[in-house]
Amino acid sequence: MDRRQNVRVQAEEANEVDHSGVLQAHNSSMKSHTNLLKAIMASAPANVRLFQNDQGYVESIKGDHITYGLQPGSGDLVGWSTIRGVAVFTSVEAKIGRDKLRPLQSKWAAMVREHGGIAIVARSVEECWSEHRGAVSDLLMRTQCGCDFTP
């Protein structure tokens, strides 16, 4: 069983999937950040591959701090969207409740977009994939008109 099937099975066990297999957010929002991340990953279209980007640090036996994750402010989920055979960097920042983007998260999203990537901020599964469709459409329009992706 691959990762996507495994996450889907876990979601089904938690009754987060309707009978057609489409993940449904409870009342358009998830009760927890972790559930929202799992739901977004499990519902990703076949051309999108996302990985959880945990961030933080651990302390070694010697007392050194070892950091992990891309960088402060980077998306909760990162990966790629294959568009016309090209992998486009994709970053998803999931927010729940009244949670707002922190300044470093806003800078990260702007940087990803400036360099031709897809950066999404989503409060639900539906919002994530709606924003993704819009970003892909924008990218396709830019490439059809010959627009340059460089800032």
Average pLDDT over residues 33-56: 94
Residue in the structure block whose two tokens are 């830019």: 142
Query: CA 84, 86, 87: angle at the middle one, nearest 5?
Result: 125
At residue 109, the pLDDT reads 97
- Per-residue pLDDT of 58-82, as tens digits, reads 999 999 999 999 999 999 999 999 9
Domains of the chain, residue spans: 45-144
At residue 122, the pLDDT reads 95
- Per-residue pLDDT of 3-15, as tens digits, reads 444 444 444 443 3
At residue 147, the pLDDT reads 60
Is 45-144 CATH 3.40.1350? yes
Task: Return all residues near 135 (Cβ < 8 A) that are at least 6 apart.
Answer: 118, 119, 120
At residue 124, the pLDDT reads 94
% residues pLDDT > 70 (the chain): 75
